[in-house]
Amino acid sequence: MQAVMQAQSSANSAFEEALVYISQNCDAGCDVSNTITMDTGDLNTWAEYAVYGESQLNGSSYYYVPIPTLGSASQECTDETDEDDACNWNRLYYGNTVSIPLYAQGDTTFDGSLLEVRIRTANGENILCSDGTDTTSIYGCTFDNNPVIVSWQITGERVDGSDYVEGYENKTENAMGIEYRTENDSQIHTTRLNYAKSSDYYTVLELSSKSAPDSLDSIEQALQDAIDPMEYPVLKLTFVQSATDGADMPITYLEYQIKTDVPISSDSSYITVTGYTESRGETYVWTKDGWFSQYSSSPINFVFQN
């Protein structure tokens, strides 16, 4: 029993040390591993921890958030190398915000040529327009019935201070004076989500998308300005509008995934720790793993096992 308790204690100590390392050294998501030894008298006790806070490759040249196979949309993978497998997506609950730094630890800017924000419903259904219309056409709902479902904003720093870009609203009017959103509207609204699903790509935002407040700028131009690029850019996604799907069921959460061709940071760090104690020729092990968000300073979903 004492050996088991020592293994558990060493795992807890390693967990605390991992949190300290993240808070003191990780401005963005970082990857690190370490071994610590414990002074427990006659018992040989040590622990190992590993932190995974950067986007990861998944059998291709693309990097993903969430870390492949560790998405919150599903704890089991059907095909872990399939980017559309649920285990490679995270959940975004109604009313919640996620923050994804678009840069890696040790860097300050996003210099990639690919950035895709992918969002979908969990059951594959369309999202109904406010008047109940079920459509995959951008122009399938009138403006008033085509609300923004997920708001987005990228914040960062420039030479003269902080800056931001966000969704660009663009609409047109038909001969009867009825307004509709256009393809240039980069807000993540109902028909944009449905159209992205119908294309099988789920991409609702990319580098070429227009951005506000300067509609002449694409996201790429805003991030990678040749004279004053945005430093420490952070993408924020917020599920702002309650909605109903094509099965007439309320949508409590959506699923999201970020795809890039350069490393960026995960929205939270996956930490795994293992404590060991040797006693009388036996090795006792205690493990602990889960997620920690350095952006909300809260540990979540930790699992213990001996």
Do residues 285 and 188 both lie within one domain?
no
Buried b (16+ CB within 10 A) or exposed e, 22-53: beeebebbbbbeeebebebeebebbbbbbbbb
Mean pLDDT over residues 89-118, rounded?
A: 96
Residues 23 and 82 in one domain: no
Same domain? For 92 and 233 the reply is yes
Q: Kindly report the average pLDDT of the chain as a whole number.
A: 92
pLDDT tens-digit map of 63-100: 999 999 999 999 999 999 999 999 999 999 999 999 99
Same domain for 149 and 284, yes or no, is no
Q: Under a CB-based contact definition with an 8 Å cutoff, are residues 268 and 292 in contact? A: yes
Total of domains in the chain = 2
One domain for residues 223 and 76: yes
- Model pLDDT, residue 1: 67
Q: Are residues 211 and 280 in the same domain?
A: no
Cα–Cα distance for residue pair 206/220, rounded to 1 Å: 8
Can you tell me the mean pLDDT for 262-273? 93
pLDDT tens string 10-28: 999 999 999 999 988 888 8
**Do 137 and 189 sit in the same domain of this protein?**
yes
At residue 132's C-alpha, the angle toward residues 130 and 137, to 5°, is: 85
Question: Does 157 lie in the same domain as 62?
Answer: yes
Q: Are both 46 and 79 inside the same structural domain?
A: no
The pLDDT score that the predictor gives to residue 291 is 85
Token couple for 92: 């975004």
On whether both 39 and 67 belong to a single domain, the answer is no
216: containing domain: 58-263
Is 75 found in the same domain as 187? yes
Phi, psi (degrees; rounded to nearest 5) at 296: -120, -5
Query: Tell me: the pLDDT tens digits for 206-250?
Result: 999 999 998 779 999 999 999 999 999 999 999 999 999 988 899
Would you tell me how many other CB atoms lie within 10 Å of the CB of residue 134?
15
Q: Which residue has the higher pLDDT, 296 or 198?
A: 198
* Average of per-residue pLDDT across 271-292: 91
Q: Are residues 11 and 118 in the same domain?
A: no
Between 298 and 144, the more confident residue is 144
